[in-house]
Amino acid sequence: METKIAKNYINGEWVDVAGKESQKVLNPSTGEIIGTVNLSTAAETDKAIAAAKAAFPEWRATPPVTRARYMFKLKTLLEERFNDLVKICSMEAGKTLEESRGEVRRGIEVVEVMSGIASLMKGQAMEDIAAGLDCMAYRQPIGVFAAVCPFNFPVMVPLWFLPPAIATGNTFVLKPSETVPFSMQLTYEILDELNLPPGVVNLVNGGKDAVNAILQSPDVNGVSFVGSTPVAKYIYSESAKYGKRVQSLGGAKNFMLVMPDANLAGTANALIGSCFGCAGQRCLAGSNVVAVGDVHDKLRDVLLEKAKALKVGIATDPSSQMGALISKKAYDRVNHYIELGIKEGAKLILDGRGIKVPGGENGFFIGPTIFDDVTPDMTIAKEEIFGPVFNILRAEDFEQAMSWIDKCPFANAGTIFTASGKWAREFGYRLPATMCGINIGIAAPMSFFSFGGARNSFFGDLKAHGSESIDFYTDRKVISARWF
Amino acid sequence: MGLASFSAILEFAIGEEKKAADFISSIIGNSNTPNSETLKKIQSESEKNKKNLQMILQENVTEMVMEPCEEIDEKAFALDPSILKNEKDLPGALERQAAFFKSASKSINLKEVKRSFDKMSERKISLIGEIKK
């Protein structure tokens, strides 16, 4: 099988990575090597930043309506290459075709929203704020923005940031995850077809050296990040140290409350999708399912039945409903948490370890796994597992469940399943997490709303996409004018 | 085998439209039928449906609910190319496709998709009428 080598895209040109350190890119479903990524040095990253800086004056002066036309064209090209993107995404991230379709679609939706940039970027104006004095507030682009992206959404997350950054008139440097570089290779091939001015969009493959070069560069004005909480904290503090804007999205431990009056069939479907979609490797994955009152036994039985029926398989097999974990390291980590759960006294009612997937003997598979009788003090109830494992906890009532949520250091998302408007309202009102679902498994805001959590799940002020991204990528220039 | 997910249903539908288009193409190529204009129309309908179905598959995000669909029995609707021999077999094939779209429309809980499936089903039925004229 022919393997690929990821390249950088700098100043409108594809260039080989000169860095000597390299990493193999694996297909998580089979363990096969599909390519290599060489890790860019700080000097190579600086070249991308310099190209972005040089491109900024011309790009910011490009009329928003012209930039919007680039967005329309980008949408068309992404639609044309949709299936190619889906295939690469599934191949390198191990997620099912259906999941990859979902993520590419969600990415395109950001481009669609940014096609309206001429309206989104409008400022404010008022005559006669004092006698003969007028005032205007323009939204101005700032300069060079960078994004450091995770492995779990190789297409969607970069598209949370790139379209709003350039639509608002900034220039951009992307560092994709070195585990999944090829989705962005194709995306940048598409961007290359757009004929943007050189330097408006740049791609740097790399690891820590590239990230640090971005964080420490005086020429980068803002950074977006999605990943684990420790790294999110690091990105946030380093960016702040160097005077940058930053939006840094971290990990999660999402609670799903099931009230006794919940519609069990709908709830179970939503929970299964939430907990096992993308093999649990997403920051919106359901993790702690809290059965409130007497719903526990019925809920456990229906979840068990549905989880057992899921077909775990090779990502590119259209019949697969759940794919593999991203790497051996992830596989070992999830196994470690399962062992820890058993050791701490949780009851393993569905064990996904040792699952046999035809054709995926060397893949990183763990099947759906469910723990029952989990208590909030157990490690598996407190830490992010990032795998296809969920816990069932029993709460006496709503208040007890909310007290557990209140103590959780993460606050990304939470959901309540209930037929009661009162409980739903109360939950939405009191949930510390800022993405809240009511009878929804994955409370993922779409591209015209903002995405991001609170507490240890988010560091920064302005969140991803939606109107907050326009705020993030622009500054307000207030001009007070009097003419004599 | 049952079709239990949105994408399984859509991929099946796309495959069936391809089979139908190939079948009609073979009839047009092999006979001097007086119905050639109608056949071309039916073939172009299948091609158009295929494109629409591909867009539906591309544009609807369903991975968030893993089991949104009522299962459909694939065997009940699949066209069998080995028994599709000539023009006489076409109305039966179209009826089968119309029934599939009707059934799929009930199974998928997305309004726009239901509307497209219902329309495809109605068009197939109306094309049967045109052949029989």
Closest CA–CA distance from residue B58 to any residue of chain A (Å) = 7
Q: What is the CA radius of gyration of chain B?
A: 15
Query: Which pLDDT does position B66 carry in this prediction?
Result: 46
Q: Which residue of A has its CA nearest to B11?
A: A318
Task: Kindly give the pairing relationship between strand A4-5 and strand A8-10.
Answer: unpaired
Sign of the dihedral through C-alpha A384, A390, A394, A398: positive
Contact across the interface for B61 and A105, Cβ inside 8 Å: yes
Q: CA nearest A348: which of A384, A365, A372?
A: A372
Give A478's contacts (C-beta < 8 A, 6+ positions apart).
A135, A136, A137
Query: Which pLDDT does position A2 carry in this prediction?
Result: 65
Asked if the C-beta of A62 comes within 8 angstroms of chain B's C-beta atoms, the answer is: no
3-state SS, residue A220: coil
**Residue of higher predicted confidence among A274 and B6:** A274
Query: Which pLDDT does position B33 carry in this prediction?
Result: 74
By Cβ distance, the residue of A82, A269, A318 closest to B8 is: A318
**Residue of higher predicted confidence among A206 and B38:** A206
Task: Name chain A contacts of B8, Cβ cutoff 8 Å.
Answer: 318-319
Q: Which residues of chain A have pLDDT under 50?
A: none
Contact across the interface for A96 and B61, Cβ inside 8 Å: no
Given CATH 1.20.1260.10, say whether it is the number of domain B2-132. Answer: yes
Q: What percent of chain B has pLDDT over 90?
A: 55
Query: Which pLDDT does position B2 carry in this prediction?
Result: 74
The residue-averaged pLDDT of B93-118 equals 92
pLDDT tens for each residue of A109-143: 999 999 999 999 999 999 999 999 999 999 999 99
Place of tokens 């993790």: A287
pTM: 0.93
Q: Does the annotation count A283 as an active-site position?
A: yes
- Domains of chain A with bracketed CATH: 4-250+457-481 (3.40.605.10), 254-438 (3.40.309.10)
Closest CA–CA distance from residue B110 to any residue of chain A (Å) = 15
By Cβ distance, the residue of A310, A318, A442 closest to B64 is: A442
- ipTM of predicted complex: 0.78
Query: Which pLDDT does position B37 carry in this prediction?
Result: 87
Asked if the C-beta of A97 comes within 8 angstroms of chain B's C-beta atoms, the answer is: yes
Query: Which pLDDT does position B4 carry in this prediction?
Result: 75
Phi, psi of B95 (to 5 degrees): -60, -40
Tokens of A126: 């008022």
Q: Which residue of A has its CA nearest to B64?
A: A273
Asked if the C-beta of A269 comes within 8 angstroms of chain B's C-beta atoms, the answer is: yes
Q: Is B119 a residue whose pLDDT tops 80?
A: yes
Asked if the C-beta of A441 comes within 8 angstroms of chain B's C-beta atoms, the answer is: yes
Query: Which pLDDT does position A1 carry in this prediction?
Result: 55
Asked if the C-beta of A82 comes within 8 angstroms of chain B's C-beta atoms, the answer is: yes
Beta strands in A236-384 (DSSP E): 245-249, 254-258, 286-292, 347-350, 369-374
pLDDT tens for each residue of B53-81: 999 999 887 655 544 567 789 999 999 98
pLDDT tens for each residue of A189-215: 999 999 999 999 999 999 999 999 999
Contact across the interface for B58 and A82, Cβ inside 8 Å: yes
Asked if the C-beta of A28 comes within 8 angstroms of chain B's C-beta atoms, the answer is: no
Of these residues, A278, A283, A408, A436, which one is catalytic?
Answer: A283
Query: Which pLDDT does position A466 carry in this prediction?
Result: 94
Sign of the dihedral through C-alpha A180, A183, A189, A195: negative
Closest CA–CA distance from residue B73 to any residue of chain A (Å) = 15
Closest CA–CA distance from residue B53 to any residue of chain A (Å) = 14
Contact across the interface for A106 and B6, Cβ inside 8 Å: no
Asked if the C-beta of B110 comes within 8 angstroms of chain A's C-beta atoms, the answer is: no
Contact across the interface for A98 and B58, Cβ inside 8 Å: no
Q: Which residue of B has its CA nearest to A83?
A: B58
